[in-house]
Structure 1
């Protein structure tokens, strides 16, 4: 999300010289190869301008939000809009992600402090964080939550089995 200084479509520019086709194709290819899609936003679409009110006035949609399929699945119903701004030639974008949508029953993610010392926790976080270098910080945090939630659920079930085993072992030991 932010200022990409590039255009995806010829309609992303109004004024002066048309944007070169080879640059459009280059950015389109980079977005496609990264498996990202342009997330639509409301409000004024031309987020950058130069020469307002003059014959050389140019407006371009340089700021945008690109998301991957995983992000779209996690944040269904998210919205975005451009905002008015004084003192900048760019319009800021406001992204309002809704609550993370979990598959199955709804459960709020809670990171358990004890996980930090558990074997495997660090690897889960590192793989979620580094898994997709194109993902922005919000996407990385969401992916860490998803992966830690799954890992923590498995760890919780393993721990329950250990408690049951030790409980059965204790009954066996007392019988001796």
Structure 2
């Protein structure tokens, strides 16, 4: 009669039932390394580690939340890099490349006011879609209402799209923030009698 083989235990090895696997240790190591990466601001490493843990243990809710946090941090970090790349391209005269970088930054992080403002400003200068420029300028104003440049850009975009009353309000807001701003004063003077 043939002997029946032993069934594998938790370790996956026959004859070793109940011994925890190296997998559990690896998961704990990856989670600890990911948390340390978040603490140090290395979002890419944290995202990679938590993604690896999630593929190994998809039911772990803590890791799912940490993965979302790492993804947001990584996207925000990449958006900042794209804005810097766009500024550099714009400085060297590559406006279309800069516009692409700003758009990518806006899609990566919708809370990046500088990316929204730069994309709206450059899109307006290049004569691109007015609705897109208007939405981005509005987003920049909502995210950072204390920046004069954001209000001026919104006013210009609104004025060119035919919304004179809204443009006047944006220029008034800019003038409240910086009473000596010549651009806001000139725009308000021009709009004073156009209604």
Bigger RCO of structures 1 and 2 (CA < 8 A, at least 6 apart): 1
Q: Which has the higher strand share?
A: 1
Taking structure 1 as the reference length, what is the TM-score of the superposition?
0.31
Taking structure 2 as the reference length, what is the TM-score of the superposition?
0.28
Decide which structure has the larger Cα Rg and report it: 2
